[in-house]
Amino acid sequence: MRLNAAAFIVTIYGDVVVPRGGVLWTGSLIALCSKVGINESLVRTAVSRLVAASQIEGERVGRRSFYRLKQSAAAEFLRAADLLYGLDRPAHGWQIIHDPEMRLEDAVRQRMGHLGGSVFIRPDRGQAPPTGALVFHAEALTNARPLTAFWDLTALRDGYAGFIALFSSLTPDRLSESEALTARLLLVHAYRFVLLRDPRLPVEHLPADWNAPEARALFCRLYLALTPAAESHVAALCEGTDGPLPATTEASEHRRLALLSSL
């Protein structure tokens, strides 16, 4: 798996740091990244880019540098966490969105299908409409053209297949605490890359060989198996401004229980 340093740091913050207060010492971040071959120079360059993108912000305590999640980025992190660790919420109909200002790449990033022109579609899970857009709700849609034609499900299916192939042989009980934390971060990183592009269409609109449920079950099973050792290592390795991060918090336990109930 080829890793982008900034994207992997986002995974670290989302999985480890956010449920433990949102602040991490740079030394801990460098140590975590070194386990996957990202050196200190790449970490510092990536951190600078994330600061410029208003994802994180720095502060100094004595001679140490810490970076915290910016409040302006918190909503984006929470939405991603809800998809990764939360219970699936079924869609209730569809949002049909007319937005002349919407760029196609932004629509894809928001997991919308393109109906043509300035019209887009997505399953309605109560998402807030884009600013200035005209949004209609449809209970059901019938069309001679399958709805799946409006999304690139082939790429998503291949992404899930790659995730399954990469992690299906992982044996958590053979890993040290350090290896378990690294494996969990890689698991989240790989799964997040596919899941955040998935529109999560209702099952009746999906192909018969759709493999997202298999990937989800594998993610939940491995995440839960890796967590006890991984979180022990979080407490041993990771520091915030108040000292070592706790192994578990109410937020991390909430994630664990939600994944457990998904199995």
Structure confidence at residue 1 as a pLDDT band (50, 70, 90): low
Specify the DSSP element, H or E, that contains 13. Answer: none
- Does the structure show a pLDDT above 70 at 238? yes
- Does the structure show a pLDDT above 50 at 92? yes
Spell out the domain ranges in the chain.
Answer: 94-139
pLDDT in tens, 104-163: 999 988 899 999 999 999 999 988 888 889 999 988 766 645 677 888 899 999 999 999
- The whole-number pLDDT of residue 132 equals 87
CA distance 115 to 97: 9
**Which residues are CB-neighbours of 46 under 8 A, at least 6 positions away?**
5, 6, 9, 38
Length of the chain in terms of residues written: 263
- The whole-number pLDDT of residue 194 equals 96
End-to-end CA distance of the chain: 26
Any bridge partners for residue 60, and if so which? 65
- The whole-number pLDDT of residue 140 equals 73
- The whole-number pLDDT of residue 204 equals 85
pTM for the structure as a whole = 0.92
Look over the chain and give the mean of its residue pLDDT values, rounded to a whole number: 93
Nearest to 15 by CA among 168, 188, 133: 188
- Does the structure show a pLDDT above 70 at 182? yes
Question: 33-54 burial string, b = 16+ CB within 10 Å, else e?
Answer: beeeebeeebbeebbeebeeee
Structure confidence at residue 56 as a pLDDT band (50, 70, 90): very high
- The whole-number pLDDT of residue 142 equals 65
Interval 174-187 mean pLDDT:
98
- Does the structure show a pLDDT above 70 at 28? yes
